[in-house]
Structure 1
Amino acid sequence: MKIVRKQDGFTLIEMLIVLMIISVLLLIVVPNMSKNNDVANDKGCEATVKLIQAQVHAYKLENTSFPQNLDVLESEKYVEKITCPNGADVGYDASTGIVSTP
């Protein structure tokens, strides 16, 4: 009489190996994702500064002078907000009309 062993499923060792591989992959992927998030915030801030700069020039065309501060652009509906996506305020020189990154 033969004893037949039925092998359904995974052993504990196989499951531990799979979990270890998944953990290593997560350790590699998660730091790269956070670095990409920082790059995206920087690019978003650059785009916001360019948009505000364009609106400063549009304001000057309509009013023949640069706005005294960026709050004027927001109150007169030239822009929705005058902050970068990461929450930083942008710089502005009223004498030259130049908008700069924080």
Structure 2
Amino acid sequence: MLKNFNWKDESGFTLVEMLIVLLVVSVLLLLTIPNIVKQSKSINDKGCDAFITMVQGQAQAYQLENNKVPSLQDLLAGGYLKGEQKKCPNGKDVQIDSSGKVTEVR
């Protein structure tokens, strides 16, 4: 047997309650997104420091094996760096000077 539905007994969210929840979520997103973007830049800068340290170690290994200061192309051709690893995670280039020191190009 089917019972008649009584709309007054139905429980659920009203439009006003849904709008309040949407407002709270929107405010939370507006507060957190700028902080996430700022942290992303910090993470990329730390990743660049780690990348420079890694390239410095590979340049020293190349120098020990070949008795000369490498260029980035030498490291790539010799298999010391994989693929096209010429840039930091923040998008800046790195360079190796004549003494073998690896620095970020500013």
Same fold (TM over 0.5): yes
Query: After superposition, where does 1:5-84 map in structure 2 within 5 Å?
Result: 5-6=8-9, 8-67=11-70, 69-80=71-82, 81-84=85-88
Secondary structure at the residue paired with 2:32? helix
Q: Distance in 2 between matches of 1:97 and 1:20?
A: 56
Please tell me the residue identity of whatever aligns with 2:68: S
Secondary structure at the residue paired with 1:91? strand
Q: Which moved more, 1:77-86 or 1:43-52?
A: 77-86
Q: Which of 89, 93, 106 matches 1:89?
A: 93
Query: Does the 8 Å contact 1:44/1:85 carry over to 2?
Result: yes
| Aligned alpha-carbon RMSD (Å) | 1.6
Query: Does the 8 Å contact 1:52/1:82 carry over to 2?
Result: no
1:7-64: per-residue Cα shift (whole Å, max 9, x none)?
A: 5111221111111000000101111111121111111111110000011110111111
TM-score, reference length from structure 2? 0.82
Q: Which moved more, 1:33-42 or 1:20-29?
A: 33-42
Q: Distance in 2 between matches of 1:89 and 1:74?
A: 14
Q: Which runs of 4+ in 1 moved over 4 A?
A: none
User: Structure 1: which 5+ runs fail to align?
Assistant: none
Q: Distance in 2 between matches of 1:76 and 1:82?
A: 14
Query: Does the 8 Å contact 2:58/2:80 carry over to 1?
Result: yes
TM-score, reference length from structure 1? 0.85
